[in-house]
Amino acid sequence: MDTIKKLFTVTCSLYNKQQSHYASCNELVQACHRKLFAETKYAYFGDYKGSPILPYHVFGLTIKNLTVYSRPVRPDIFIADIDELVRSQNAFTSLLEKHPASWEAAEIELSNKVVYTSVMSISCAYDLWQRGSRKTPGTFFEVLMAGILKKMLPDAIFSKSIPLANLLHDEELNEANSDSGQDIQNEDDATGLSTDLVIALPDLPGGVVIPLKITTRERIVQPFAHQRILNSAFPDGRFQSVLVCISETQLDEKNKAVKQVTVPGTVQLFQKYLAKLNGIYYCDIPQRYAADSMQKIVPVKSVGQLFADLAKILLTHSTRK
């Protein structure tokens, strides 16, 4: 894992220094992928008993008769062959230089597979060899998506928070700031709404807010709450949000099965009574979110489709200039 941890550190440091880190992401993915296929057994684990039934694989690492499993992986969208993965990464990189609004089904599918395989390779490697670093897969997802989107939108401006300080620039907050004085540590991020990625276009107000979560769990409320604040603060609708996730699966070791943990009723409540997201994107779309009833309330699509949609949102956005 030392090589992998070092590659991860290098990638993050390039990202933080705003230097090109996309190639480094791909290299890290390949290192994890190679280690997984060299040292573990990739095999069928069990089904998600939906309609249709979906089989899932896992990476299993056996040490002294004890087998530890990675999170579940969908074999139909995970690229298991390393040569095919490298070819697909290269093809995807070339695609990013074409305008994604013109992508067709095959290109959308390829993109979805590359993102899924990339994030799952790192996640499964950390599941098996570095369980303590629980936050690393999520961080990598953010870093990778920033790399991809920067390649796709070279003129866009990327940031990690929305400056809302000016919204609070009234007497009260100024007072609060002086209250806190020099002797009290300022642990508070009062100056912005912290999110994962915000993409803006030059000379245009607002932008697209992209919370990135491998799975949402109880944090599903955050993107809706943030969008609500943005709507209140900027009633002209200059900010829009898309939630981007990998999957909502959970290994059920006892029953040798896989669960998809979903809350469609809650999502519908949030979309209806909190704020509207422009869309929710998954590499492995949970079946209950793919249902027509859900799609009428909020579009749920593949991450491959996200790239095409983002190009469109930002285009519509720029006509507002």
Q: Interface residues with a copy of itself (CB under 8 A)?
A: 49-51, 164-165, 167-168, 172-173, 175-176, 179-181, 183-185, 187-191, 193, 221-222, 224-225, 228-229, 232-233, 259, 261-266, 268-270, 272-274, 287-288, 291-294, 296-297
CB-nearer residue toward a copy of itself: 28 or 267: 267
Distance between CA 16 and CA 159 in Å, rounded? 11
Shortest separation between residue 277's beta carbon and a copy of itself, angstroms:
14
Of 198, 220, 71, the C-alpha closest to 145 is 198
SS3 label, residue 320: coil
Which residue, 91 or 176, is less far from a copy of itself as judged by CB? 176
Using the structure block, give the residue that is written with the tokens 């995970």: 78
Query: Judged by CB, which is closer to a copy of itself: 26, or 241?
Result: 241
The C-alpha atoms of residue 28 and residue 36 are separated, in whole angstroms, by 12
Residue 173, number of CB atoms within 10 A of its CB: 13
Distance of closest approach, residue 144 Cβ to a copy of itself, in angstroms: 23
Which CB atom, from 121 or from 227, has the smaller least distance to a copy of itself? 227
Q: How far is the CB of 50 from a copy of itself (least distance, A)?
A: 6
By the 8 A CB rule, do 278 and 240 touch?
yes
219 DSSP assignment: G
The distance of closest approach from Cβ of residue 268 to a copy of itself in the complex, given in angstroms and rounded to an integer, is: 6
Cβ contacts of 92 within 8 Å, gap of 6 or more:
110, 111, 114
Question: Tokens 């200059």 appear where?
Answer: 238
Residue 130 exposed, middle or buried by CB count within 10 Å (0-12, 13-18, 19+): middle
Distance in Å, CB of 285 to a copy of itself, minimum = 14
- Of 88 and 241, CB closest to a copy of itself: 241
**C-beta closer to a copy of itself: residue 133 or 255:** 255
Round to whole Å and give the CA distance between 31 and 228.
Answer: 41
Taking the complex as a whole, how short is the minimal distance between the CB of residue 272 and a copy of itself, in angstroms? 7
Kind of pairing between the strands at 157-163 and 192-200 = antiparallel
Rounded to the nearest whole angstrom, what is the least distance from the CB of residue 14 to a copy of itself in the complex?
A: 27
Q: Are strands 66-69 and 54-63 parallel, antiparallel or unpaired?
A: antiparallel
Per-residue DSSP letter, 200: E
Closer residue to a copy of itself in complex, CB, 82/263? 263
Contact 72, 249 (CB under 8 A): yes
